[in-house]
Amino acid sequence: MDKVFISQLHVDTIIGVYDFEKESKQSLYFDIEMLSDIKPAAANDDINLALDYAKVSERVIEHATAKPVELLETLVEQLATIILTEFNTPQVTIRVSKPAAVAQANTVGVEITRTKAMS
């Protein structure tokens, strides 16, 4: 399998447990890696046969900004389900970074890998 990736997708959204975090948007950065067979798209030079990273990016931004959640863990689980359900990939790895969460750290975050359930 090949990999299609999105690196450092920037999203400003409301996320956090503490009251002050719920009052203003914070920056999140997403790194997303999806398994895909790129050969059909490449052979036909056809975006319709490709795992379209632009559409995945749009969907991530749309979901991350639609309804605030408190935990990064909740958000990445939701996004993994969306990507596995709506896009042609059997596996996704999502890493989200929240640079403003801990003053003494450059960034903190969560990374998960999820695989589509086989029927």
Instruction: Give the residue numbers marked as catalytic.
Output: 98
| CA separation for the pair 21, 115 (Å, rounded) | 31
| CA separation for the pair 9, 112 (Å, rounded) | 16
Q: Are 47 and 88 in contact (CB under 8 A)?
A: no
| CA nearest to 70, candidates 9, 13, 111, 114 | 13
> Both tokens of residue 35?
């398994």
CA dihedral 69, 113, 81, 99 (to 10 degrees): 30
